[in-house]
């Protein structure tokens, strides 16, 4: 069984970190100059590993195997948040490169097909999961015309400026690519808290968002008696409190819900607010659980609607279905995890969105997590023990081999 080269893995990770390094973190947002530089460097590393390397029309970097037979596509993204950690995405990309190199060096696996990839803009500088959606042919073509970044720069212009618009698109080859694997930091505290070293992802959670509007009557905060008020803030507080008190009855162990946005139509200590809005986000790996939470939400909204003269309206927003990971990919990852970290791995959902959620629609997909120290991510402070980085890559390597073996049996 081939072994990955820990030093080479860590060195390449550190070199990638140097593109956009800022303190312990990295600033390498999608299609920035430094992101493009790092992608050409990555393409060179893929080529050095004997892969057919190229950037496609949206800036995805591919290293395609020239071996005949089934291939496993492995990768993640190398763009970062505006203040990103050094491992988020980068770890999965460099691990894919290392797996390709390890297999190529071992006579027993040198003919195995490993495709590597770094997806463009998973973090949504222009449009979240842009690259993986383009590859999977699920990207709405309008996005390429209309998407802009927070500064108003048009994605289309930036792609032209980078010369990427002339590159041919690269799309999924389901007859050749038999699976997609992605390694990633957990971005949460579950592994770090439990002292487990590997997470085998069972599903990437679904997301549902709701904008809840409260329409009362704006009034003078001194002269309007309490019983006469149609106070939108008060109604919002009461309903939000009910959500927080009643959701645990219906939620699963891994359900999360967040009120990340709250606002009033007025902002004055002397005005009874006439309007208020809050946004609620639910995440759960199980569509049935999300259905039950949604029913409970609508029941709570109906119960509050009209109380003290305040109308309540609930408007559904973003809606992403959970993406279960492929059973066979999970099994291959789990057996590799048990061999290399016996008793110290677990199955778990991913609460964060990943490119694997997009890929799962086109290829049997699997994901593995390594621990995030303190559960921290999207922060310069993000980090993982080097031993865990090495272990995760070794597990990924063995899982890829097992998948290819299953397909060539």
Quote the least distance from Cβ 149 to its own copies, whole Å.
Answer: 16
Phi and psi torsions of 242, nearest 5°: -60, -45
Quote the least distance from Cβ 247 to its own copies, whole Å.
Answer: 9
Q: Are 384 and 91 within 8 A, CB to CB?
A: yes
Quote the least distance from Cβ 396 to its own copies, whole Å.
Answer: 20
Quote the least distance from Cβ 364 to its own copies, whole Å.
Answer: 23
Q: Which is nearer to its own copies, 46 or 214 (CB)?
A: 214
Quote the least distance from Cβ 256 to its own copies, whole Å.
Answer: 6
CA-wise closest residue to 401 among 325, 355, 324, 339: 339
Q: Which is nearer to its own copies, 141 or 222 (CB)?
A: 222
Q: Which is nearer to its own copies, 99 or 201 (CB)?
A: 201
Which residues touch 276 (CB under 8 Å, ≥6 apart)? 213, 214, 216, 232, 233, 235, 236, 262, 263, 264, 265
Quote the least distance from Cβ 26 to its own copies, whole Å.
Answer: 17
User: Using the 8-state DSSP alphabet, how is residue 308 labeled?
Assistant: G
The count of C-alpha atoms lying within 13 angstroms of the C-alpha of 192, restricted to the half-sphere facing its C-beta, is 16
Q: Which is nearer to its own copies, 62 or 214 (CB)?
A: 214
Q: Which is nearer to its own copies, 272 or 297 (CB)?
A: 272
| 33-48 vs 90-105: helix crossing angle, rounded to 10 | 10
Give residues in contact with its own copies (CB under 8 A): 186-190, 193, 205, 207, 209, 219-226, 228, 231, 233-234, 237-238, 240-241, 244, 248, 251, 254-264, 266-273, 279, 281, 283, 317-318, 350-353, 375, 377-378
Q: Which is nearer to its own copies, 129 or 207 (CB)?
A: 207
Residue 376 Cα distances to 88, 238, 372, angstroms: 11, 32, 6
């Amino acid at each position: 069984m081939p072994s990955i080269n820990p030093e080479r893995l860590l060195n390449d990770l550190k070199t990638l970190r140097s593109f956009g390094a800022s303190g312990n973190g990295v600033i390498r947002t999608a299609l920035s100059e430094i992101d493009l530089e790092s992608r050409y460097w990555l393409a060179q590393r893929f080529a050095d590993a004997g892969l057919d390397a190229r950037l496609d029309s949206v800036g995805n970097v591919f290293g395609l195997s020239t071996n005949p037979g089934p291939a496993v596509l492995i990768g993640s993204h190398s763009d970062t948040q505006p203040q990103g950690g050094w491992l988020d995405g980068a770890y999965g990309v460099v691990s894919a490169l290392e797996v390709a190199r390890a297999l190529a060096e071992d006579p027993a696996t040198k003919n195995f097909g490993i495709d590597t990839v770094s997806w463009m803009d998973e973090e949504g500088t222009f449009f979240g999961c842009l690259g993986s959606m383009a590859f999977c042919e699920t990207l709405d073509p309008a996005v390429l015309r209309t998407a802009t970044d927070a500064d108003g720069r048009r994605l289309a212009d930036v792609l032209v400026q980078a010369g990427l618009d002339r590159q041919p698109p690269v799309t999924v080859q389901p007859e050749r690519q038999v699976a997609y694997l992605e390694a990633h930091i957990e971005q949460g505290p579950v592994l770090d808290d439990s002292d487990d070293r590997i997470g085998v992802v069972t599903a990437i959670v679904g997301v549902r968002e709701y904008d809840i509007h409260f329409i009362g009557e704006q009034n003078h905060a001194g002269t309007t008696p309490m019983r006469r008020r149609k106070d939108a803030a008060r109604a919002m507080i009461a309903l939000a409190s009910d959500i927080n008190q009643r959701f645990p009855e219906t939620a699963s162990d891994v359900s999360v819900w967040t009120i990340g946005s709250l606002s009033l139509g007025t902002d004055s200590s002397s005005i009874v607010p006439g309007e208020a809005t809050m946004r609620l986000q639910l995440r759960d790996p199980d569509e049935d659980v999300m259905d039950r939470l949604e029913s409970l939400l609508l029941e709570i909204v109906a119960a509050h609607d009209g109380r003290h003269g305040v109308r309540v309206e609930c408007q559904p927003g973003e809606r992403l279905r959970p993406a279960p990971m492929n059973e066979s990919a999970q099994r291959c990852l789990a057996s590799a995890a048990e061999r290399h970290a016996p008793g110290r791995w677990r199955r778990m959902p991913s609460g964060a969105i990943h490119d694997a959620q997009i890929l799962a629609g086109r290829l049997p997909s699997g994901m593995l997590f390594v621990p995030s120290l303190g559960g921290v991510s999207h922060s310069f402070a993000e980090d993982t023990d080097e031993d865990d980085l090495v272990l995760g890559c070794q597990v990924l390597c063995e899982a890829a081999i097992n998948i290819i073996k299953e397909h060539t049996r």
